[in-house]
Amino acid sequence: MRNLKTGRRFILFPTIVICLVCLMSCQSTTSGNIDTLQIGYQKFGTLNILKAEETLEEKLEPLGIEVEWNEFPAGPQLLEALNAGSIDFGHTGEAPPIFSQAAGAPIIYIGNGPGSPKGEALVVQNQSSITSVNDLIGKKVALNRGSNVHYLLVKVLEEAGLTLEDIEVTYLPPADARIAFDRGDIDAWVIWDPFLAEAEKELGAKVLRNGEGLVANREFILADKEFAENHDDIVSIILEELKAVEQFAQNNIEETASFLSPEVGIENEILEEVLKRRGFGIERITEEVANDQQEIGDVFYELELIPENVNIQDALVEKNERDVR
C-alpha cells in the first residue's frame, strides 16, 4: 500500500509543519513526563486507520514518545481500561461514556464524528418470522451492555410504543452475540459496524430498523482527564492526524478498504460498505453535541440504567480552551 501512504504523506506535509510550529510555541500543557502513549481502539473506527498508517508514530518520535495500541471488543471495555489507567486515549460510541461517567470514571470528551445512523441496526435472522418491532414482545434481544446500540434499542422500542420491559434483554459482547444469533439462541441482535455489515453479508441478517431518524451514532474520541489536562499538545496532534486520515479515507473508499482489510481482518467488500455509510469529519466537541449527549444521559437515568444522572459539562475541557481551537 505504498501509494496510499505516499499520497497521505503528501497531503499531511502542511499539517506536520503546522503541528511542529504549534508544539514549539505551545504555552499550555506539554508532552513532558510521558514516553509512551497508550491508545485503546476497537474492531473499526478512525483510530484503526490511524494505526494502520503509522503516521502518528512518525510525528511523536521526535518528541521521544512511543505509541502502543490496545484492542478492545467494545467501548465499555475500552473505557474500563481508561478508568483503570491502562490507556490514555480511545474511541467509543455515544452510550459508553455516559455509563462510564455515571460510574465516576475521570473521562474527558475530546472530539467526535458527525454521526453514522446507518452504521447500527436491530437485525433478525434471514428466515425469522419477526417482521416488525412489535413482534419482539417477549423475545430475546442481544446487545453489548452500555454500548452505543443500547440507546438505539431504547429509541427503536420507543418509536413502536414499547419499552425494555416488553422484551427479554440479553447482554452479550459482539463475538458471543454473533454465535448466539447464528445458532438461533436469540431472536434479534442490536449491533454496529463492522459487525453489522459482516452479519448482513455472512449470516444474511435482515435489518429491522437502523438508526436513521432516531440516533446520531457518533464516534467519540475520549481521554483520561489527567492526560487531557496535562498533554493537550499531544491531544492536538492526534486530532489533526485523525482529521487528515479521515479526509483521505472519505475520498478514497476502495483504496482505504483494501489497505485496512489485512489490518482489521475484514473482507474488502464489507469494509467498503462500512466506509460508505460512515460519517466523516472529526472535530472538537461542540455545545450542540454535548447537549445531545446530555439527552442520552437523561434518558438512561429515567430508565434507571445508570445509578445517577450525569452532567456532560463535567466531562468537557474548559469552554475557553475549546473556543480557541
Tens-binned pLDDT, residue by residue, of the chain (325 aa): 434 444 444 333 334 333 333 333 333 334 557 899 999 999 888 898 899 889 999 999 999 999 999 999 989 999 999 999 999 999 999 999 999 999 999 999 999 998 999 999 999 999 999 999 999 999 999 999 888 899 999 999 999 999 999 999 999 999 999 999 999 999 999 999 999 999 999 999 999 999 999 999 999 999 999 999 999 899 999 999 999 999 999 999 999 999 889 888 899 999 999 999 998 999 999 999 999 999 999 999 998 999 999 999 999 976 434 443 4
The answer to whether 49 touches 274, Cβ cutoff 8 Å, is no
C-alpha grid cell, residue 22 = 504549534
Phi then psi dihedrals of residue 195, to 5 deg:
-60, -35
Number of H helices, E strands in the chain: 14, 11
Distance CA 175, CA 37 (A): 28
Segment (H or E) for 67: strand 66-71
Distance CA 86, CA 38 (A): 7
Q: Is the peptide bond between 14 and the residue preceding it cis, with omega within 30 degrees of 0? A: no
C-alpha grid cell, residue 24 = 514549539
Bridge partners of 171, per DSSP, are: 143
Could you give the 3-state DSSP secondary structure of residue 110? strand
| List of domains in the chain | 2-116+218-323 (3.40.190.10), 118-210 (3.40.190.10)
The answer to whether 36 touches 68, Cβ cutoff 8 Å, is yes
Distance CA 310, CA 61 (A): 38
The pLDDT of residue 12? 38
Residue with cell 438512561: 300
Helix spans in the chain (H): 2-25, 46-53, 55-60, 75-84, 95-102, 148-159, 174-183, 195-202, 225-230, 232-251, 253-264, 268-276, 287-302, 319-323
C-alpha grid cell, residue 116 = 453514522
The pLDDT of residue 264? 84
